[in-house]
């Protein structure tokens, strides 16, 4: 049983973890030139990853830009990877926020299905 982990809006989630006041405002990681990702508040206005920031501002004039901090995202990804390794020590990391896990042994040992393991990982 394989699980694909893709942490949507990962950079925005890390920024919100560190600055909870950003949770309720439209926020994007990046700048006027390009956005890496946006939180769900901003996405309701049509703001998306890999969108030029100047276009995002037309869609959401109240958009708050947060400068990317890749060192912080790498540290957060290491924390997540420690959890992933508990489920599959040989997982394959595709990027900071994406991985592939073989959870067959976990499913068998704990009598769980793949969907149940995936739900555990979400928490």
* Alpha carbon distance, N-terminus to C-terminus of the chain: 19
Closest to 66 measured CA to CA, from 9, 114, 123: 9
Active-site annotation, residues: 98
Which residue(s) pair with 35 in the sheet?
Answer: 30
Question: Which letter does DSSP use for residue 96 in this model?
Answer: T
The enclosing H or E element of 21 equals none
Distance between alpha carbon 81 and the CA centroid of its chain, in Å? 13
């Amino acid at each position: 049983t394989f699980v694909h982990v893709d942490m949507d809006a990962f950079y925005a989630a890390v920024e919100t973890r560190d600055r909870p006041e950003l949770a309720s405002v439209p926020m994007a990681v990046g700048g006027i030139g390009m956005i890496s990702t946006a939180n769900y508040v901003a996405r309701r206005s049509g703001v998306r990853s890999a969108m030029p920031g100047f276009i995002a501002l037309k869609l959401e004039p109240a958009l708050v830009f947060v400068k990317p901090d890749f060192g912080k995202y790498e540290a957060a990804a290491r924390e997540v990877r420690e959890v992933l390794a508990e489920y599959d020590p040989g997982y394959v990391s595709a990027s900071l926020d994406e991985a592939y896990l073989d959870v067959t042994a976990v499913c068998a040992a704990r009598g769980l299905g793949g969907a149940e393991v995936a739900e555990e990982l979400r928490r």
